[in-house]
Structure formats: C-alpha cells, structure tokens
Amino acid sequence: MERVLFLSGNEAIAHGALRAGAGFVCGYPGTPSTEIVETAATLDGLHAEWCINEKVAMETAVGASLAGVRSVVTMKHVGLNVAADPFMTLSLTGVNAGLVVVTADDPGMHSSQNEQDNRTYAKFAKVPLLEPADGQECYDFLAEAFALSEEFDTPVLLRTTTRLSHGRGRVVPRVPVEVEPRDYERDMTKYVMVPQHARQRNRLVLQRLQALRDRAEVTPLNVLEAGTVDFGIIAGGVAYTYSREAFPKAWFLKLSMSHPLPYGKVARLYQSVSRVAVVEELDPFLEEQVRALGLPVVGKEALPADGEFDQELVFNALEPYLSRRPPRRRRPVMPPAPRLSAPPAPAPGLPVRPPVLCPGCTHRSVYAVLRRRRLAALGDIGCYTLGALPPLLALDSCLCMGASVGMMAGFNAALGRKAAAAVIGDSTFFHSGVTPLIDAHYNESQGLVLVLDNRTTAMTGHQGHPGTGGRPDGSEGPAVDIETLCAGVGVRCTTVDANDYDALDAAIAGEAETPGLGVVVARAPCILMTRARPGVAVVDEERCNLCGLCLDLGCPALAPGDGAVTVTDQCTGCGLCIEVCRRGALSLAETKAEA
Amino acid sequence: MNGTTTVSLVGVGGQGILLAAAVLAETAMAEGLDVKASEVKGMAQRGGSVLSTVRFGARVWSPLSRHAEVVIATERLEGQRALGLLAAGGALVCATTRIEPGSVLRREETYPDDLVAQAAGRGLRLVLVDADGLAREAGTVRASNVVLLGAASRVLPFSPESWARGLAAAIPAKIREVNERAFALGREAAPAQEV
C-alpha cells in the first residue's frame, strides 16, 4: 500500500477520481473548487481541461460520460447557476459512464458574491447528494458517487465547503477501482429530450428518487452513531466535524448522502434520544424536512442561518438546550410517496401525428447527409430537433440550449477521435453555441459543428436574433456574421447553400475527414418565411423502384404508392428527393403558383 | 361544467387553429361573455396534432376542459381523435380535409374511414364541410379554418353581428375580405352538409 498522503479536500477529490476509474475532469476555476482540476492535470490517467465557463464544462463532461468515460465536472457554488440548464435536464437523461458534479460552496463568503446553499440543487434536480466531512471522505466518496451514478443512472452532486476544500488532512490511498469501459449506444428516448421522450424520463426520475431514498436508508454513508447522553445531532459535511468535537457524548445521525433524506434513520434517532438538533451551515435544508415529519428539533433558532460554524459556535449555541426539559416525544408522520400522473392514453386505433419537419424544410438536407455519412450527431434545441424523430432518426442527443457543441468536444475528447458532430441552429448558436466553440478551439478539440442557419428563430414563430439583426418591433439592427465570427475565433468555417445537396454533402464529408475543428454553415431561409414553391416533384413510374431513399427523408409530401412513389399536394418543389434519388426517377415540374 | 360552454379546435399544426380560436374568442366577447382560451404553441406547431380550447360563459374559471360541447376540426383524422371530448348531443364540425401523418404515408398505420359511423354511434351531430374547396372558392385555401367557423356558427349561440365583430377583431385587415367570404360560404353550406 502506498504511503499515507496529506491532501487538501480538493486534491483528495482529484486523487479519488483517479482511484475510482475516472478518465475526464473539467471545470471552470472558482474558489474554493479550483485545485481539483489543477491536481487532476498532474495525475497520469486523468484528462483535465479548463472550460470557458461552468455550463460548457458541464456539457463537456456529459459528452465524455456519454462516450463511456467516468467524468467529473467542478465549479464553485455560483458556477452551478451558470451550469443549471444542462444540470436540470441531465437528471432526466441520466448518464452512460458515471458523472459526478462537484459544487464547492462558500459559507462565510470568503471569496464569493453570495452564500447560496447548493444542497437545494440536489432537491431541485432530484439527484443524490453526497457531503464528505473530511479529506479521506473526499477521496473515498468519488468511488461511491460513480457507483451510485451508474447504478441509478443519474448525475451525483458532491458538495464541499471552503473548509473542506482548502483544509488538509491525512488520506489513506485505497486499491484502485476496476472499471469496465462502457460502449456508447444510441438511445434517443433516453438522450433526446423532446417532450414525448422527456415526459417518460421524468416519470423515471420520480421513481428513481424513491429508490434513492430507500438506498439512503440502508447505505453505510448514513450512519447512526450511539452516544451516552440524551441528545442527538443530525449533521453532514464539515458541520459534522464541528458537532462531533463540541459534543463527543452525543448521538449522531451522520448524513453523508443527505438527499434524499432517509426518514427511517431520522425516526430511529428519535427513538434513542428525546432532544435532537440539526447542525447545518446556511439554509435549514435538513431541519425543514425533519420538521415536516412532525418532529421537534433545534435548528436555526439556535444556530446562525448565515456564515461559517466552528465547534465553539456549535457548543455555545446548543449547550443551553441540554439542560432544558426535553420536548414531548412524538411519532414521526412519514410523508407518503408521491403519485404520478396517469400516462397519456392515445385514442385507440388512430394513427399518431407527432410534429415533423415541414415539407420543403431547409434542414432536411443536412439530415440526409448525416444519415448517408453515418455520423453521430449531438443535437440542440429548435425545429431541427425534429430530425430525431422517425423516419429521420438522425440525432443522438438533445440536452439544453447550446449543449451540442460542448458535448461534442467532450465526446470526441473521451474517444480521442472525431467521432461526433454537433448540430445547432443559427439562433441557438448565438444563444450559447459560441462559447463552446471558443472552448473547443482553445482545448484543441476534434469536431464538426454544423450550423443550420435558416435565418430565423423558427420554432417559436420566426423571431429575429443577432445573426439576422431582426428586432421585435420589426426594425433591423446590425447582424453578426457567423463566418467572420469563426475567423475571429480562429476556427475554419465553410458556408454552403442548404438547398444544394451535393455541395452540402461534400462540405460535411470533407470536414468530417479533416482533423481538428471545423464549422459548416448550411444556410437557406426557412420555407415558412419564403413560401418558395419553384415547382413540384414528379415521379417517373417506370424508373422508380420504391427503393425508399426519398421516403427516408421523412418528407410529408412523399408517400409509397403502388409500384412507385407518389407526391402529395404538400410538395414545395425543394428538390431534395430529386437529389437523393439514384435512378433519376424524380424531376421538377413547373406549377402555377396557388393564390 | 357550471354553465360554461367549451369549444375545442383541433387540426394539424400550420392549419390556422390559433387564428380560428382567436376569432371565436373575440366573437364570444362581442356577446358580452367571459372567455378563456388556451393552446400549446412551439414544437407542437410543426405538422403535429394541435388542440386549442375556447371556453365562454357568464364567468369562466378553468382555462381547460376534458369535455367539449362543440369540436371544430380542420382535418378529419384529428376530428376523429377528438370524438372522446364530446358527449351525446355534442357537435363535430369537421373538414373533409385528409392530411396523412408520416406513419400512414409510410404504411405503418392506416387512415381511418369510419368517422361518420363513429359519430353516429356516439349520438353526435356531424357537419362535414369541404373546407378546402370552399376556401379556394373564397380566394385562398388557407382560409379553410374560417370556412369551418362559418359552418360552426350554425351550432354556436352567437349573432351574425358578433361573428362580424369577432372576424374584424382577430383577422389582419389585408386578409379580412377573403376570410369574410370564406366565413359566409361555410355558414351557407353548413345546413346541407350535416350528415
């Protein structure tokens, strides 16, 4: 066995990640979290990256997890606000390889602009929360967190506080965890969070929360420690260490997995003692839950709701309560498990009608190329997310606005090759696709970013954005040019007409085979704005053999007829089916424009 | 419920359900009634099933209902899908328009052809309107939603003056005339098209 180490909590987390079989650690610096990534960068076997911000870091780690590598993403408490968008929906998608989100809170605001208590994020996102109390637990809990993450298919929030992150102590190294590599398997109902998939995942999240609560009851992470006086303390994290030193004879419910709260263990503490205090820095997170069980407890009326604690503060605050008459014993009122809504029942026997890309949609050509080139495509949020649905089935993920690019960088970094492309619309690119592009350039990520530029924010009803200059009052502001922007970043960028299938195919195929990072802008205005109808497709029934290449485009204007494809009156004459047909069976006929 | 009338408008995203709902709501307000309307926008708009609900009465509380007195459908399959909203005696004003969803185009599912029997079996009034044809006659197929409103005006308790005010309030001036023609054609055709 290696010699005993003397590490800060942050260093212990990095060492613990390596020991737990992690391969990827990223984050954005923020006191008191910074040294985790810095330490990881010194350890053989860990790939460490600084990301441009916490949101991109979260998405990058998600990409690495998706690719099958255990990953850690680190940030300070306020950083999780920046990363909240991917974090909240990550709870729904779950993970592939384990994913641990480290939030470093700062009670006392030694180096922060606010004092928010990020335990609330675990409750908000319905994910398990681990709170180590010392350096050894920082080290050990990484393995616990990865195991929970993979068993329950969830990100795990691991919360430290300043004293833990920057405090130092003995850490005994453990035998490394053997981790089987996980292959990535495309699973749209799990990773593409369009409403019909997300509704199903949300039910699983609620069921998962119940299963995690059952686990919290039996896990050795939550221990009832016997004392010799009629006084019990519920605490986790560094507050446990203060309490233990202040009241060595008390009973303790030490909560290292503090969300979801194990009600049964709380009840058992109350069977052993008549006086109970909750010792927690910042919010009455545990106290409110204990009170909701109908149990008498000493909490924030004695201990401050702001600032840091220490053992003297805890002792002085709680000591007076030991001589008071104990409160009348009460039986806890256990909260019932919440019920789920009835699953939607479709009208029996009727065909479903999910939303689809419009006939003539200028995004369809991109999906035709992606399918032809068999590229994994990490998607984003907009009309083009519909490319994930049958029959196109051309997207691998949809997490949150702007997630595609960071996820692509993490996915490709974890696999060490240009394995996935990002697919992002023009408005979404400006929303939050630019920062991960800069990040990918800075981290020398492999990748192909496809910007589906239909010159509008189409899905919400054709609003303007910085790429078009359009404003809500109809006036035009200065427009940002994507090519110039990419040039400024230093990323090569090719623009093609999205209606020119061959040029698009050549550009995407070329970029997919070129090492490094590149952007392809597929540009053509939304069909609903132009209402372009240059003609209609007509079928040569002699040549058509119903091979299905055009039908695979998922165009509402094409249907398999008897012996040949038929074109419905929804055809806009965009010509994409003509391009993909290998038998020359389709051509464009002029038509008089309809009134 | 509680003296409130519910009209559900159903169809395929892009068929003008939201505009039709706006006209209906304005018409009810012109009658001096309280009105609540609700619909889902966004992703559902793109070629998927859409549902808009308009409720009116002396005082309307909830914006939603699982039951409707009248359903206006701009597409036949969507009209059939909405049959469950109606109780016996309710009315379905439905376009003959047939828009096949992808699963039907790909022959994975079949388009139903038993709407008339289904409606009769439930004891409903069914008004089947060639909305597209009448809209073309009015000047543009895109006015088929308003053709259906014209047909529905025969089963809804509003005066012609209120409908005129509703159309004027909800429809942009440059397309108002064609829509007024569409409304009139639908209203004229409805009695003969009740099945």
| pLDDT digits 0-9 by tens, A35-47 | 999 999 999 999 9
If asked whether residues A487 and A544 sit together in one domain, one would say: no
The residue out of A144, A174, A191 marking a domain boundary is A191
Q: What is the pLDDT of residue A389?
A: 87
Residue range(s) defining the domain that contains residue A475: 364-530
A339-342 own/partner pairs: CB under 8 Å, 24+ apart: A340/A203, A340/A206, A340/A207
Instruction: Flag whether A201 is in a domain.
Output: no
What's the average model confidence in pLDDT over B155-162?
97
ipTM over 0.90 threshold: no
Quick one: pLDDT at residue B14? 85
Average pLDDT score over chain B: 94
Q: Which of A347, A357, A559 sits opposite B46 (nearest CB)?
A: A357
Can you tell me the distance from the alpha carbon of A18 to that of A45, in angstroms, rounded to the nearest whole number? 7
Span B85-141, pLDDT tens digits: 999 999 999 999 999 998 898 888 999 999 999 999 999 999 999 999 999 999 999
Confidence check: pLDDT of B40 > 90 = no
A24 found inside a domain: yes
How many A/B residue pairs have CB atoms within 8 Å? 88
Instruction: Answer yes or no: are the C-beta atoms of B84 and A347 closer than 8 Å.
Output: yes
Same structural domain, A545 and A405 = no
Q: Check CB contact of B49 with chain A, cutoff 8 Å.
A: yes
What pLDDT is stored for residue A347 in this prediction? 66
Domain residues of chain B, as ranges? 5-193
- A554: nearest CA partner in chain B: B102
Contact by Cβ (8 Å): A415, A468: no
Question: Mutate which of B39, B41, B43 to disrupt the A interface (most A C-beta within 10 Å)?
Answer: B43
Contact call for residues B43 and A196 (beta carbons, < 8 A)? no
By Cβ distance, the residue of A353, A551, A556 closest to B49 is A353
Contact residues, chain A, for B122 at CB < 8 Å: none
Residue A206 belongs to a domain: no
Regarding whether A520 and A543 lie in a shared domain, the answer is: no
Same domain, A313 and A181: no
- Give yes or no: residues A96 and A170 share one domain: yes
Q: Most A CBs within 10 Å: which of B75, B85, B92, B105, as the mutation test of the A interface? A: B105
Q: Does A385 contact B12 at a Cβ distance shorter than 8 Å? A: no
The low-confidence residues of chain A, meaning pLDDT below 50, are: 594-595
Considering only alpha carbons, which residue of chain B is nearest residue A389?
A: B102
CATH number of the domain encompassing residue A238: 3.40.50.920
**Quick check: A349 and B112 CB within 8 A?**
yes
Is A65 a member of any domain? yes
CATH of domain B5-193: 3.40.920.10
Q: What is the CATH number of the domain that holds A518?
A: 3.40.50.970
Residues 6+ apart with CB under 8 A from A147: A98
Q: Report the residue from A195, A358, A558 with minimal CB separation from B46.
A: A358
Pair (A108, A155) in one structural domain? yes
A153 vs A66, A78, A101, A145, A261, CA distance in Å? 12, 25, 14, 11, 19
For residue A181, what pLDDT is reported? Answer: 82
pLDDT recorded at residue A595: 41
Q: Is residue A337 classed exposed, middle or buried when 0-12, 13-18 and 19+ CB atoms within 10 A define those classes?
A: exposed
Nearest CA in chain A to B12: A353
Is residue B44 within 8 Å of residue A461, measured between CB atoms? no
Number of domains comprising chain A: 4
**Residue A313 shares a structural domain with residue A412:** no
Report residue A122 as tokens.
Answer: 């675990």
Output the pTM of the full model: 0.94
Asked if residue A551 and residue A523 are part of one domain, the reply reads: no
CA A392/CA A552 separation, integer angstroms: 6
What pLDDT band is residue B193 in, cutting at 50, 70 and 90? confident
Q: What mean pLDDT is predicted for residues B150-165?
A: 97
Give the per-residue pLDDT at A592. 55
Q: Give the one of B48, B80, B140 whose C-beta lies nearest to A350's C-beta.
A: B80
